[in-house]
């Protein structure tokens, strides 16, 4: 049995959190279409992002944050 995926249901987010989350997800996944117009919740629920991609995105987005802090996140 492999590791259990971490799942964030979009209904758990406020409107501001939803906007930030979906914009960030489009950025992480290099989804130009997602940046240009809204995708459905079902579309976002099908996206899977690995730890390596998130780690690299965080390092690029927040260059002043130490690697140790990013690893904690």
pLDDT in tens, 22-70: 888 888 887 766 566 667 777 777 788 888 888 999 999 999 999 999 8
pLDDT at 51: 87
Position 40 in a domain: yes
Looking at the structure of the chain, the number of domains it has is 1
Nearest-10 crossing angle of helices 51-61, 15-28: 100
In a domain, 18, yes or no: yes
Q: Is 7 domain-assigned? A: no
Q: Which residue has the higher pLDDT, 4 or 40?
A: 40
**Cβ atoms of residues 37 and 26 within 8 Å:** no
19 domain-assigned:
yes
Whether residue 1 is contained in a domain is answered as: no
Host domain of residue 20: 12-72
């Amino acid at each position: 049995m492999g590791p259990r995926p971490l799942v964030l249901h979009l209904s758990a987010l406020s409107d501001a959190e939803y906007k930030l989350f979906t914009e960030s997800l489009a950025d992480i996944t290099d989804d130009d279409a997602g940046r240009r117009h809204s995708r459905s919740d079902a579309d976002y629920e099908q996206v899977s992002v690995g730890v390596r991609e998130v780690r690299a995105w965080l390092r690029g987005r927040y260059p002043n944050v130490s690697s140790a802090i990013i690893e904690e996140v």
